[in-house]
Amino acid sequence: MIAIPSIPGFLKEPNGPIGKPVSRVDGRKKVTGNAHYAAEFTLPDLAHGYIVSSAIARGRITRIDTAAALALPGVIHVFTHENRPSLAWFDRKWKDDDAPKGAPFRPLYDAEIHHALQPVALVIAESFELARYAARLVHIEYEAAPHQTDLRANRADSFTPGKDKGGFQPPPKPRGDPEQAFLDSPVQVDAEFTQAAEYHNPMEMHATTVLHHDDGTLTVHDKTQGAQNCHTYICNVFGLAKSAVRVMSPFVGGAFGSGLRPQHQLFMAMLAATQLKRSVRVELSRPQMFSFGHRPETIQRVALGADRDGTLRALIHEAVQESSRNENYVEIVVNWSGQQYKCDNVRLDYTLTRLDVHTPLDQRAPGAATGVTALEIAMDELAGKLGMDPLELRLRNYTETDPNTGNPFSSKELRACFQQGAERFGWAKRSPAPRSMRDGRELIGWGMAAGVWDAMQGQAAAKAVLGVDGKLGVSSATADIGTGTYTVMTQIAADVLGLPIGEVTFCLGDSSLPTAPIEGGSWTVSTVGSAVKAVCDRVRSQLVTLAGKRDDSPLKGVAEEDVLFADGHLIVRDDPSRRLSITDVMRGSGTLSIEEEARALPYLLARARHTFATHSAVFVEVRVDEDLGTIRVARVVSAIAAGRIINPKTARSQIQGAVVWGIGMGLEEGAFTDHRLGRVMNHDYAEYHVPVNADVPDIDVLFVEEHDDMVNALGAKGVGEIGIVGVPAAIANAIHHATGVRVRDFPITLDKVLAGLR
């Protein structure tokens, strides 16, 4: 084990805000309407754009007639591929920080249609309503070409993608002899699972307002998880100087991954603003939210072989996912199966099939949400065949090291998740046989699953400015998509410098701030939090130096590690009567402000030799109406191991939100394509179902204690995504326990359960 020295002073403060359930520092702004979103900014001459979407899934535009739209008074311009200006030529200029291998989609590039709802024209008018109406008057003729949108029909035509994108690792090479070991196993499970495509559907639709200033500079208010990612993209695409453009996204109304890449409304608003030299807003409609990225449809096979005592002998996991023709969208679906359980004979395969669709996109726990679902249902089926408790089967095959690499985990308290979660849920009272628990007409089922997600860290910088008034401003160009970034960063800064929360302000969502990566992968606490801590540590050192300078100072000659920071004071640890306020330290030394900037990097040496992951155990009770097949999730216990929890209140919200999504993924969500048209049929909130209040039961979240001094200087792993992983499986397993019906096709709608009950 590599010992990472703990930094003096940090987390030794007796009453620091780390670990406290601090309410959102931006909460008041949000509930009073003072948090402004991308489509809410304006200037007096603001023009409005509305996008025309393709009516076909593949082919080309043969004629585009904008005369009727342009004839309307108040319609300013219609942009099409025929009149767009010349833009960046090379693919690399169109790439962004989340772009997979391939050629990024270019809006209004030429007459070719690559997928349904592709943006094909942009109408600019004096009002939104006029632009929307005029968009219907744009007359487009197409020459349709045959399209393929059906993964099932095209699955044989798949290929193995290579290594790509920051986090993507192809599956590890097979170990042992999985095929033979499977055949030799006395107990076997071999099943196929299908997962429907899911769309992100944040409450706030994607929108961009470009404010065109008199000096020609642009302020771009965009809905994004990466202001700097979008900044680089538009400067590259439009050939603009970086200093002439500033991208802002201080508030984001949900994203879940949809804002990881610049989306086409950004391009459209920029196109119009730069060409017309005026301010422009472009907002997508709800149906147009189905015109880009989604969690890809997936078909999986999991085969497990075990000895009669439950020891896993063979594990085979294959997945095929859809991608577009132009990019290889890849996610880690099957690798988790080789990491979660001890097994000597393992084969993991991951392939892609190209379809005529927009490139899929990361969506909350991309890959794990899908892959772990299949694995954890197969484990439940295996437990059934063995006549073994599903929890016991998981403990039987528990691993303390990562079998994919042979490396130890930096920390892994999954066992504690199992134990504490089971106890909270009352798992011991479960009667093992399916259909053995009932309450009137309702069949009761108890199911469980384990979850896993990465504990990643990137590089980020942060800046701190401490004023003589004792107020601290910290900033970094990260995002807060509702996850609590503002609050958590404020806590970390306040903790290091012993300041009250109210004296600290954290700024984000602005491309001009110190560099931070896109906000995703549950890595923001780790990545940006480490930078915030690093920069505040520097301010802390400066204060200690300043405090010791004067001969009459009570802190004269005191070493930094002997100084405590609390209540806005520097206090000698062993003699609290010797103290100075931060304000006095600064005044006494004639310092008006202390300014520092710092970068934080992952502990690369530790990362090379360990696996870093968060873990979970999910327990679910469902109630199924035997006559009607209706499925209700009655309660959920989610036990999470994610290192130190900086803020149990915002962290709990993350897990609860993710569990809600797990219910959606399990029971409701799916985008269904009419393959004759190549179009998603249910592209609105009426027909694309997500859980509403009535679908969401009591969700009990518990964080098990997990100490990790290798993950980062905070010991925190991040909780944005782990909460969804395993939930669909636990629901499916509970449904099986309730009814005896095994559904492996997501979402598990009541028709599928009823078909099994008949």
Give the residue with the Cβ less far from ligand MOS, 198 or 503: 198
DSSP character for 159? E
Considering only 158, 249, 363, 478, the residue that binds ligand MOS (CB under 6 A) is: 363
H or E stretch at 740: none
Write down the catalytic residue from 519, 668, 669, 721.
721
Give all strands (DSSP E) within 387-441, no chain letters: 438-439
Judge whether 418 and 712 are in contact, CB under 8 Å.
Answer: no
**CA atoms of 743 and 731, how far apart (whole Å):** 10
Q: Which stretch binds ligand MOS (CB under 6 A): 50-58, 302-310, 363-371, 535-543?
A: 363-371
Give the residue with the Cβ less far from ligand MOS, 378 or 481: 481
Instruction: Look at strands 207-212 and 575-581 and give their pairing.
Output: unpaired
Instruction: Name residues contacting ligand MOS, limited to 207-236 (CB under 6 A).
Output: 225
Considering only 119, 161, 262, 366, the residue that binds ligand MOS (CB under 6 A) is: 366
Give the residue with the Cβ less far from ligand MOS, 107 or 366: 366
Q: How far is the CB of 525 from ligand MOS (least distance, A)?
A: 13
**CA atoms of 196 and 363, how far apart (whole Å):** 13
Nearest residue relative to ligand MOS (C-beta) = 520
- If one asks whether residue 718 binds ligand MOS (CB under 6 A), the answer comes out as no
Give the residue with the Cβ less far from ligand MOS, 64 or 266: 266
- Burial, 529: exposed, middle or buried (Cβ in 10 Å; 0-12, 13-18, 19+)? buried
Give the residue with the Cβ less far from ligand MOS, 202 or 715: 202
3-state secondary structure of 231: helix
* 143 is an active site residue: no
**CA atoms of 92 and 90, how far apart (whole Å):** 5
Whether a cis peptide bond, with omega within 30° of 0, leads into 17 is no
Instruction: Name residues contacting ligand MOS, limited to 492-521 (CB under 6 A).
Output: 520-521
Q: How far is the CB of 256 from ligand MOS (least distance, A)?
A: 6
- If one asks whether residue 118 binds ligand MOS (CB under 6 A), the answer comes out as no
CB-based contacts of 694: which residues, under 8 Å, 6+ apart?
none
Amino acid in the structure at residue 106: R
Q: How far is the CB of 98 from ligand MOS (least distance, A)?
A: 8
Give the residue with the Cβ less far from ligand MOS, 205 or 437: 205
- If one asks whether residue 256 binds ligand MOS (CB under 6 A), the answer comes out as yes
**CA atoms of 163 and 272, how far apart (whole Å):** 37
H or E stretch at 155: none
Give the residue with the Cβ less far from ligand MOS, 105 or 256: 256
DSSP character for 372? H
Q: Which stretch binds ligand MOS (CB under 6 A): 255-263, 384-392, 436-444, 541-549?
A: 255-263
Q: Which residues pair with 216 in a beta bridge?
A: none
| Nearest Cα to Cα of residue 209 among 279, 275, 116, 299 | 279
**CA atoms of 201 and 688, how far apart (whole Å):** 9
Q: Which stretch binds ligand MOS (CB under 6 A): 84-92, 252-260, 343-351, 589-597?
A: 252-260
Q: Which stretch binds ligand MOS (CB under 6 A): 120-128, 297-305, 360-368, 747-755?
A: 360-368
> At which residue do the structure tokens 């880009």 appear?
292
Q: How far is the CB of 522 from ligand MOS (least distance, A)?
A: 7
Site string for ligand MOS, 442-481 (x = CB under 6 A): ----------------------------------------
| Nearest Cα to Cα of residue 374 among 414, 420, 340 | 340
- If one asks whether residue 260 binds ligand MOS (CB under 6 A), the answer comes out as yes
Residue count at the site for ligand MOS (CB under 6 A)? 10
Judge whether 111 and 277 are in contact, CB under 8 Å.
Answer: no
Residues lying near ligand MOS in the complex (CB under 6 A): 225, 256-257, 260, 362-364, 366, 520-521
Active-site residue list: 721
